[in-house]
Amino acid sequence: MDVEKTFTLYLAFTLLVFFAAAFYYSENSNKLDECTNRLIEQKNRAWRSDLDNRSCTMELMECSNELNKTFKRVLDLSREVKNLTKGKKILESELRRERDSYKTSLESLTEFSECEVMGNQSLKDNCFLALILRKKSLPEFIQLATCGIIQNRDVRDKCLMYVAIRLNKPEICDEISNKSFFYIITCRGIEIKHYYRDECYLDLALEERDASLCEKINNSYRNECYTRIAMLTEDSGVCEEITNKEDRENCIEAIKPGGCRCTACKSKTIS
């Protein structure tokens, strides 16, 4: 009887402890779930806040890019305005130059008329030539047309030579006859014949230091052209273009210190 009572008490105590433990576990489990849910909610709020911050940052970047683009467009527009203003000034300058050029041309008509009325053709030709030499600002087509009405071949070719050199246009030299000539005195006092066409290319070659124009000279003065340019540029390589051995050696010797540098070897300027 005592055993049964003791067992019954033990069983009752055990059940009481079990239910107490179960209740305690249940209460703590609910608190743990609540704590876990609160942590999840906080995490979600932090994640949403981070997304909002990123979205805001992206919007700020887009706004910044738009501002930069707008600023760039303003700068581009400012440059275009400056270019248009500059272009306007250039056009105005060109218009003034053209106006002054044609004004000069019209003022020269009276002088052309004075040449036209001369009865002697030689005087008339020289009058036109003198007019071209004086009127340096005449438009190219008027200068060429004036040279074209000169009947004397030598005077006409001399006119074309001056125009070609003045305008720096080698193609005008092509219009000069290869038979027109004049005489010059060398540094040794020798009078030799020079052709206007060759002299035209020679002077332009010296003016531009362009040895390629020497190739257009058709006589022995081609070597003189190479020699003069070699002296002006102090480039012995130009002398190698000379085919005649003696002239080539003289060319190389001329550009050495103390070499022959007579006045006939130097560039002439035709105004």
CB 115 within 8 A of CB 131: yes
| Cα separation, 62 vs 57, whole angstroms | 9
CB 194 within 8 A of CB 211: no
Three-state SS for 182-233 is EEEECCCCCEEEEEHHHHHHHHHHHHHCCHHHHHHCCCCHHHHHHHHHHHHH
Between 102 and 239, the higher pLDDT residue: 239
The answer to whether residue 53 scores a pLDDT higher than 80 is no
pLDDT at 211: 92
Residue 178 gets which letter from DSSP?
A: S
Between 79 and 238, the higher pLDDT residue: 238
Alpha helices in the chain (DSSP H): 2-116, 121-134, 140-148, 153-167, 170-173, 196-208, 221-233, 245-254
| Cα separation, 155 vs 224, whole angstroms | 25
pLDDT at 269: 37
pLDDT tens-place string over residues 201-213: 999 999 999 999 9
Give this prediction's pTM.
0.55
Q: What is the CA radius of gyration of the chain?
A: 50
pLDDT at 46: 66
The answer to whether residue 45 scores a pLDDT higher than 60 is yes
Per cent of the chain over pLDDT 90 is 28
Supply the angle between the helices 196-208 and 221-233 in degrees, to the nearest 10. Answer: 20
Taking residues 139-160, what's their average pLDDT?
91
Between 205 and 82, the higher pLDDT residue: 205
* pLDDT interval class at 11 (50, 70, 90): low
The answer to whether residue 6 scores a pLDDT higher than 80 is no
The answer to whether residue 182 scores a pLDDT higher than 90 is no
Average pLDDT, the chain: 78
Of the candidate ranges 88-92, 138-142, 173-177, the one whose mean pLDDT is the lowest: 88-92
Q: How far is CA 52 from CA 59, 63, 64, 79, in A?
A: 10, 16, 18, 40
φ, ψ at 192 (rounded to 5°): -130, 160
